[in-house]
Amino acid sequence: MLWKTFRWAFAVTAVGLVGGVLYDGWTALGIVAVLAVLEVSLSFDNAVINAGILKKLNAFWQRIFLTVGILIAVFGMRLLFPVVIVSVSARLAPHEAVRLALTDKERYQELVTDAHPSIAAFGGMFLLMIFLDFILEDRETKWLGRVERPLARLGRIDMLSVCVALVVLLVTSMTFATQAHQHGGHHADKAQTVLVSGVAGLVTYLVVHGLSGFFEARLAGEEGGEEGGGATSGRPALALAGRAAFFTFLYLEVLDASFSFDGVIGAFAVTNDIVLMALGLGIGAMYVRSLTVYLVRQGTLDDYVYLEHGAHYGIGALAAVLLVSIRYEVNDIVTGLIGVTLIGAAFWSSVRLNRATAG
């Protein structure tokens, strides 16, 4: 099972490492390997969250996630996304942005770094909404009961997550505006950019997640009608297909994009070569996708019930890191360790629960 699920990840690893050597010699091999490890460490909680969503889809859409989805993840987010950001933020033609990426790597890195506030605001708000909607929902299974029970009661207030997110965004943009004022006019227009980008991230979440939920509920209603007023007759949970599956897949891709923001920006600490960056981050993305499918097929989230809780807390931490990074530099090692630590704690709590139940 392990080999079957990860065989494409192993193949991509071999091709990526060889491609790095052929492109820029043996030094490139080490750079590609480091970037792959960086991507996996930063996105482990992404795999857990994705697995919780992917298990709702039917087999066809799961294959789409691992095939078409990985092409979007590797070529779209890890190769084209930085170029698009440079093109939009610096108001350059796309071909000019590509030329910079290949021939003037220092200037290209400078432009991507300059666009970091808007990237962090968009991704931070999207991830913050995921965390808030999870933590404010009254769930049967609770990991940190003393925290989650009162928050679940607060979650009964309509649109509370949106209100909290907007307050966080306002505080973030005002904090950045203070920094801009202190440092002069170079960043004078960035506070507005942060505010607009954050609102865009919030709206994107509401639209994509809302459409996914709408078609999922509609499909469940149609299935219930066919079975006679909603009787399940012992049948397994409905696997999403059609428009419900499409918007769920779209939601997964936007989620993956939000997780990849810090990896793409952090990769510049290792190299500013866009080809090596795409190879290394692409390998890491492939492992994250394969791990997601593995978790679904093994039923890991059902066996270790607190894993999703730990991953969502990791999402909340990552959202905070992204928003803080607008003003302060945060080391990628810290970012990766936060997610791994939270998921590790949730896993251990799940193991203890399973032992107690079995005993």
- Do residues 313 and 107 make contact, with C-beta atoms less than 8 angstroms apart? no
Give 108's pLDDT tier (boundaries 50, 70, 90): confident
Taking CA atoms, 110 is separated from 73, 102, 272, in Å, by 23, 14, 10
SS3 57: strand
Give 293: exposed, middle or buried? Use CB within 10 Å, 0-12, 13-18, 19+: buried
Q: What is the pLDDT of residue 185?
A: 45
CB neighbours of residue 334 within 10 Å: 10
Q: Which of 24-38, 166-180, 209-223 has the highest mean pLDDT?
A: 24-38
Round to whole Å and give the CA distance between 216 and 241.
9
CA triple 41-45-48, angle to 5 deg: 130
Q: What is the pLDDT of residues 159-171, one digit of tens each?
A: 899 999 999 999 9
Kindly tell me if the per-residue pLDDT of 317 is higher than 50.
Answer: yes
Burial class (CB in 10 A: 0-12, 13-18, 19+), 233: exposed
Q: What is the pLDDT of residues 208-253, one digit of tens each?
A: 888 777 766 766 666 555 554 444 444 345 566 677 788 888 888 8
With a cut of 80, say whether residue 6 has pLDDT above it.
yes
106 CB burial (10 A radius; 0-12, 13-18, 19+): exposed
265 vs 95: CA distance, rounded Å: 21
Provide, for the chain, the percentages of residues in helix, strand and coil under a 3-state DSSP scheme, each rounded to the nearest 5: 80, 0, 15
pTM of structure: 0.78
Share of residues in the chain with pLDDT > 70 (%): 86
d(CA 203, CA 310): 25
The answer to whether 123 and 262 are in contact (CB under 8 A) is yes
Is the per-residue pLDDT at 77 higher than 80? Answer: no
Question: How far is it, in rounded angstroms, from Cα 116 to Cα 258?
Answer: 13
Rg (CA), the chain: 21
Q: Which residues contact 297 (CB under 8 A, 6 or more apart)?
A: 1, 5
Region 101-123 average pLDDT: 82
